[in-house]
Amino acid sequence: MSPTPSSKPETILNKRFLSYLLWQSIPSTFIFIFSFSLLPKTPFWSFLPFIIFQFIFSVTLSSISSPSPHPIFLPRNLKLSLTFFLFVIASAFSGSVAALSLFGFNDIGRVGFRGFLVGLMFGFHYVFKRRWVLEFPIIQRPPFFNFKMGIPLAAKRAFKLSTVAFIFSAVLIEIIPHPFKCSIGTRAFFAEQIVFFVASFAIFFCWELTHNLHRVLHTKRSVFAPPKGSAAAETNPSEHLLSALEESNPTSLLRYLAYLDLCMVCENNVETWRRAAFFEESGETYKRVISVCLRPLEQLASRLGEDLGNSADKPTNLSNQLSSPTDVKHVEELYNFQLYAWCSRIVASLTACSRKEDKFGAAQLSGSNAAVVSTLISCLLAVENFMGKKTNLQSPNQLLGSGGIKWATANSGRLDIATATGKRKNGPANSKAYAIADVLKTSIYQIVSAFHDEMLAGTKASLLEKDWITSEKPLFGTREMLIQKLRLFLDFRAT
């Protein structure tokens, strides 16, 4: 099942939202019918309020979902914080009405209040566990297959959450004072608990399937290109993609889908005609693609640099650059791993492909090659410094390369063991930082492998730094650090 091209990128999100609302009603209906056959008190007319409030829950779930892992509560963004609050309230009311629909409306106060507590717990769990962040699958499979594969996990998670919510609501409803307490016999009490546990599991399972369906439909790849063979495909096939990348909101799902599409075009050989269009004669398209992909990496390096004492408006202090950070304000930046991974892989793939596919020399003549390598290395140095990895400048005699006489006894990636160990254990975003560093290293090695012979020749002619490192001040570190790091990659000794 291959994605179909979209003539207007703005319509993609609307179509996906409408299809999500349509399809989410199907599992909800099946769950209600199955529960109706098991629970003795369930009236069939309660199907209508059950579906209505599941619909409201689905809408609010979609409203808080985002591919960007921004902070949950922002004082400067009251609207965003209010959206999360409304989702929690909608979950609570949806749980209350769903519990009454499945349990029966004979005991509205007690069952409704308990269902309200169950929904409230799910809402808080969903928000604070960051399950609203859309994570794009590495391998793009057909939506039905992805949804089917997520059903066992949804059932397992629903059982765990419903068990905790059942115990939590049962204890809390007996502790806190409320007017819904009633004295019933032992047999009726246990029967009520069994019925409520089945009902709560059905509710949680319905919510988990809704979450699974939303994730599958909204993380499916979209092709931002006109149909092949059309006039637009012949004249400017990259305009739809560049429009989505440059004009959409930086945290919008549309921009993330555009990055995903661009990454698959650059790395695969299925749509080579679209990648060939990037290397057009003027070089403007290539510069726009590289610029929009380097921007997130530049922001990451500059923001980490500001926190680590290497801001652009201060004189470069080597001791500050090499110090291990203890308090990083922009730790949220590291959680946006999928965007950094796409951007890094895109620029690396395009740079490597330009060696054979760039007939007009757009990559080299525009200075994009040097900008890509400089940004990747600068970003890598910033992330490594965040992890506690010290960068030490060495004399040129220690970096003569594979053809030289003397090898470096200690490379620029020398690790301060005590600091790095503490970072691994106590760092607020250590796993994400290591993942970002791995992607950056792989991307740099991809470029170095493609241009290895040219880089070796440039090293002998003292042109390596001129061709592959920009003359401007780096976003993090110094120009000498970038040159030294590049030579380590050239010798395949960067770890």
Q: What is the pLDDT of residues 152-210, one digit of tens each?
A: 999 999 999 999 999 988 888 878 776 666 656 577 778 878 888 999 999 999 999 99
For residue 415, the cross-strand partners are: 389
**Cβ-based neighbours of 77, under 8 Å, separated by 6 or more:** none
How high is the pLDDT of residue 404?
47
**Beta carbons of 44 and 36 less than 8 angstroms apart:** yes
**Beta carbons of 441 and 340 less than 8 angstroms apart:** no
Q: What is the pLDDT of residues 347-363, one digit of tens each?
A: 999 999 999 998 988 88
Q: How much of the chain exceeds pLDDT 90, in percent?
A: 48
**Cβ-based neighbours of 323, under 8 Å, separated by 6 or more:** 308, 309
How high is the pLDDT of residue 327?
43
Task: Give the Cα separation of 427 and 414 in Å (integer).
Answer: 19
Closest to 165 (Cα-Cα) out of 127, 115, 129: 115
Q: Which tokens in the block code for residue 375?
A: 């940004």
How many Å from the N-terminal Cα to the C-terminal Cα in the chain? 39
Alpha-carbon separation of residue 151 from 25, 144, 145 (angstroms): 16, 11, 10
How high is the pLDDT of residue 308?
60
How high is the pLDDT of residue 271?
85
Closest to 259 (Cα-Cα) out of 350, 143, 343: 343
**Beta carbons of 203 and 211 less than 8 angstroms apart:** no
Task: Give the Cα separation of 151 and 144 in Å (integer).
Answer: 11
256 C-beta neighbours (distance < 10 Å), count: 24
pTM, two decimal places = 0.86
Q: What is the DSSP string of 239-300?
A: HHHHHHHHHS-TTSHHHHHHHHHHHHHHH-SS-HHHHHHHT-TT-HHHHHHHHHHHHHHHHH
Instruction: Indicate the range of 296-300, 328-332, 405-409 predicted with least confidence.
Output: 405-409
Task: Give the Cα separation of 440 and 344 in Å (integer).
Answer: 6
SS3 of residue 30 by DSSP: helix
Task: Give the Cα separation of 451 and 440 in Å (integer).
Answer: 17
Task: Give the Cα separation of 5 and 3 in Å (integer).
Answer: 7
Alpha-carbon separation of residue 251 from 62, 85, 340 (angstroms): 15, 20, 13
Alpha carbons within 13 angstroms on the beta-carbon side of residue 87 total: 25
